[in-house]
A and B are shown apart, each in its own frame.
Chain A
């Protein structure tokens, strides 16, 4: 079946540190890959996505590259801010439609 595995959190970083949140997937077909973010008191919102191998999604300084050879979609940011503190969810979608398979979420805490 399809599944997404994320590194467990919480991840605690100081402001301006480099961030990597690992995400790997198992899929029966060729998925589209997503990162969603949930800020405190808000719903999940799409951060970035990539629809085919070697695509790079980027938004708000975050990047993730679709690596088919390693079945990964790791989230990176060069310099995190306190305002990036949130829970980050990696997800995949196999077919057309909006049924997403999510990972467990990784909580990021950034300290000043």
Chain B
């Protein structure tokens, strides 16, 4: 069964370092997303991406964040200069259509900023 895969599963980094989280969406999907969940808090929307550009982003997704689809398969989230409060589980998701609410999520990448 097709699935969304994310790497790394866990990354520990020092504050101020750049981090790239990688995702391989389901191959025929066209819509891509990043969500995050800070420990003990809600899953929050970060950004959606379609047709090689950002279609929506939340207030959380500031200039420190960027997304890219560098080739036909990977979808990456970059955090330029990590802060302690960026520590969270980051979920990648993809969808075949843009408006059903059915997203397919990866297992998540846990980011710990020290």
Interface positions of A (Cβ within 8 A of B) = 4, 32, 34, 36, 38, 41-46, 49, 89, 91, 93, 96-105
A44 touches B91 (CB 8 A): yes
Contacts of B106 in A (CB 8 A): 43
Kindly list chain B residues whose C-beta atoms are within 8 Å of the C-beta of A36.
105
Question: Do A100 and B102 have beta carbons less than 8 Å apart?
Answer: no
Interface residues on B, range: 20 to 34
Given A97-B99, A99-B48, do A43 and B107 touch, yes or no (CB 8 Å)?
yes
A49 cross-chain contacts in B, Cβ below 8 A: 101-102
Tell me if B51 is interfacial: C-beta within 8 Å of chain A. Answer: no
Contacts of A93 in B (CB 8 A): 101
Known: A44-B91, A105-B43. 15 other contacts (CB 8 A): A36-B105, A43-B4, A43-B91, A46-B101, A97-B48, A97-B55, A97-B56, A98-B31, A98-B33, A98-B48, A98-B100, A98-B103, A100-B35, A100-B101, A100-B103
The one of A98, A101, A104 that contacts B99, using a Cβ cutoff of 8 Å: A98
- Complexed CA–CA distance, A46 and B108 (Å): 16
> For window 72-98 of chain B, which residues contact chain A by CB distance below 8 Å?
91, 93, 95, 98
Q: A105 to B101, alpha carbons, bound, how many Å? A: 17
| Distance, CA A81 to CA B41, complexed state (A) | 27
Decide: B41 and A45 in contact? CB cutoff 8 A: no
In the complex, the answer to whether B48 meets A41 with C-beta atoms within 8 Å is: no
B105's contact among A34, A45, A96, A97, by CB below 8 Å, is which?
A45
Whether B65 is near chain A, meaning CB under 8 Å from some CB there, is no
Contacts A43-B3, A44-B91 known; A102 to B44 CB distance under 8 Å? Answer: yes
